Structure 1
């Protein structure tokens, strides 16, 4: 009995010597907690796929894969908010009903994914309300929000089509503009409801969402699939190289290059030992042949390890569950322009259609191509009216210097787009690439009052709808 009590007696004497209240021995004997590992409070995550339609399979596949990583890492469903239209897994075009894969040899990533906001509930208002933790601003969905505190870490992953200064949503009549997103992040920072936030963004011209806008002093670190003036890329597409093409029954791309790169990197590494900076370098090197992966905001946060935001699990087991078992993660040799992936799908759908369905598939393909042509010609004509047929295209595509935001007056940009769409039809996923043209008009002093007349002249032949 004396031998069992002796250690306790020694500890009591040391505590008395050091002073029980605040002494060094008290800190030494305190059980280790999340405070010591810089994981305080709760890990939160928001995952959003901003598209719909089987031609955009890859976006929801990306989100489902991201969910599996976080779930394996120990995050609870109550702390993961998922936005996805949810029209892929049980789509009649899906060759594996009820299943979604994100790699040619991958297993199902759809199983168990929470359906927090689906269908029309995937919208700008709900997304921003979830980020702010504002339940009163929600419409539909489960009502789940990021109810975080000052000690929490938040991970946000957004994958979709985009354009200069804008991100898509499934409802093509609305878009998320860069200034509204950044203003929401600033507002959340001012509310003191997080310790640090990491934002991964997959979209064309995704760098323009943060370029010249995201402050470096609000504890937000962001990486993007591309810089402010280039496309991002789809991968694991039909016609790809051996080992990179989807199973032959698939007619659509399974993932996005930037997205699968960071997720497959997460699958095969111990997230306790890998920093955001290291993952950024790995992803940048893997996508270097296609786009320039960028980082913005508080770059000091990239020294933190991934597990602080994503949790951590046995990488070997994780890899076997959702991704490739190849740990080398070399560069992918085949990819498709993000804005051309839908054309690829509709082409393969037409090519493989039976006699009874070929005419319908052909019509779909032609409608998509016609919409592209109408949008391009409408913008080209407006540029010609304003600046002349030779100078117009050059002016409308001009890129501002690095570090400058896309536009000085965001309200002007939004009004210009609305006025154009009222006369010419929705820009759609493809047409978002032209937001730079509208921004340049605003920067040159062309106000939205002039746009209805300009668009009417440019698009007088018809008023098409978006596809």
Structure 2
């Protein structure tokens, strides 16, 4: 075959191949594009599952009015944004709406001049039902509770779960009125178990408490689809806000709740990421009281990618609502642990009646005396322990590593000595229990505590 004939044949071959290639890959591209449309649409559509919400105020007493009010307010906001009642579980002691100190019986407000946030709040778990055991069972959809007719979170693999817990806390614990505490280890184990059982797609947890960061800092993995926001750093105290002294004589909120609820009422939650809400909270981390600047530092833990990928609406509802509330900067603050004693101090300051003022002075003296008694008893207990440096144990802050010892010692203290949930001042002593566990054998520490607490006389009144 002549050269020119070979060239013609080669050109025909290449042309046929080229046309075939174009036809083949054009159809392939069209097929991919056609199938990509529903895929891309799926990415932009809301997630297929449901949103479940657990709200819990595990504190009680008039000094903790704001903690219960926060949860009531959260319920109203989340319901208004479209989360149905069937998917919301509320746990609260329910003692402030009809409390003797409440000037407006049956009404609870979360800020001065604010609307009633109590109306319509469910009573799924109230009073003595508000325990750490029930909290974890509700969260994990406990079948026994459900069989008893109690409401639980029934989330599945496609669902989102949002949890808000508001109470007092200390090193790796959250207090409950029952005397038992919620341990960080148990909470994080619940997360792991739920992830293993595919009980959620993602879970977001907001915690308002002193030293709230300690519940997650060393224990929450970043690969189990859980994202947590704490009101405070692991070693930081939290603040109450919105004091009112003409009618209520207490704090109507906690500082952390004021910020995230304000944002959830004013922002378009369908366009705001969870991370944006966290930054909103984080930026409002200081306030001035009596001419002095104070700080509270929100923290985030776990799978941080959740916060960037998800909108707040996926956890709090996507219905757009115009709330009847103005953005008001929080005022009137108190360290959460000192609220009860600061109420009495404020009553002394604002009361003109001499007899009433004298009663308040005597009440304050008695409260301070009980605090001094606990200080003395803790020191006496420490001095019964062999081979330790009492100065280190009583005054320093060691890192918690011996977690099993600490859990046993905290539970023993709350059951044998002072109910931690009822004696708020005892939370200041948890760091001493950490230090003991880092310097003493577990059984020695626990046995000495039992023996000591069995031998002492305890005051009838709570140590607040």
TM-score (norm 1): 0.82
Aligned pairs (5 A) from 1:175-186 = 175-186=181-192
CA contact (8 A) 1:126 1:139 kept: no
Q: Which has the larger displacement, 455-464 or 373-382?
A: 455-464
Aligned to 1:435: 430
Specify the SS of the correspondent of 1:235.
Answer: strand
2:47 pairs with one of 36, 39, 44: 39
The aligned residue for residue 58 of structure 2 is: 50
CA distance, structure 1, for counterparts of residue 84 and residue 217 of structure 2:
33
SS at match of 1:254: strand
Does residue 464 (structure 1) correspond to residue 462 (structure 2)? The answer is no
1:159-308 mapped onto 2 (5 Å cutoff): 159-171=166-178, 173-237=179-243, 246=244, 248-288=246-286, 289-303=294-308, 304-308=310-314
Match of 1:409? 403
- SS of aligned partner of 1:201: strand
Aligned match of 1:243: none
Contact 2:242 2:331 in 1 (8 A): no
CA contact (8 A) 1:197 1:221 kept: yes
Following the alignment from structure 1 to structure 2, what is the Cα–Cα distance between the partners of residues 87 and 354?
Answer: 29
Do the aligned residues in 1 keep the contact of 2:398 with 2:438 (CA within 8 Å)?
no
After TM superposition, list the pairs within 5 Å mapping 1:56-455 onto structure 2.
56-137=64-145, 143-171=150-178, 173-237=179-243, 246=244, 248-288=246-286, 289-303=294-308, 304-315=310-321, 317-318=322-323, 320=324, 323=325, 325-326=326-327, 332=330, 334-348=332-346, 352=351, 365-386=364-385, 387-394=388-395, 397-400=396-399, 406-410=400-404, 412-421=405-414, 424-427=417-420, 428-453=423-448
CA shift, 1:361, in A, is 5.9
- Greater Rg, structure 1 or structure 2? 2
Q: 1:432 Cα shift?
A: 2.1
**Whole-angstrom CA distance in 2 between matches of 1:116 and 1:362:** 40
* Contact preservation (8 Å) 1:423, 1:452: no
Q: Which residue of 1 aligns with 2:3?
A: none
Q: 1:154 to 1:420 in 2, by over 3 A?
A: closer
Give the alignment's TM-score, normalised by structure 2.
0.82
Q: Are 1:72 and 1:312, in contact at CA under 8 Å, matched by a contact in 2?
A: no
In 1, the alpha carbon distance for the partners of 2:151 and 2:340 equals 32
Supply the distance in 1 between the matched residues of 2:352 and 2:99 (Cα, whole angstroms): 17
Cα distance, 1:463 vs structure 2: 2.5
2: CA distance, partners of 1:202 / 1:291: 11
Q: How far apart are 1:69 and its partner, in Å?
A: 1.1
- Per the alignment, do residues 364 and 174 of structure 1 end up closer, same or farther by CA in structure 2, a change over 3 Å counting? farther
CA contact (8 A) 1:164 1:209 kept: yes
Deviates more, 1:354-363 or 1:428-437: 354-363
Counterpart CA distance in 2 for 1:272 and 1:305 is 6
Shift of 1:138: 6.7
Q: Per-residue CA shift, 1:321-376, capped at 9, x if unaligned? A: xx4x12xx66x564211111111224445665978977876665455433322222
- How far has the Cα of 1:287 moved from its partner? 1.8
8 A contact 2:55–2:89 mirrored in 1: yes
**How many Å separate the matches in 2 of 1:70 and 1:113?**
12
Q: What do you get for the CA RMSD once the two structures are aligned? A: 3.1
- Indicate if the aligned counterparts of 1:415 and 1:448 stay in contact, CA closer than 8 A: no
Checking the alignment, whether the CA contact within 8 Å between 2:393 and 2:436 is kept in structure 1 is no
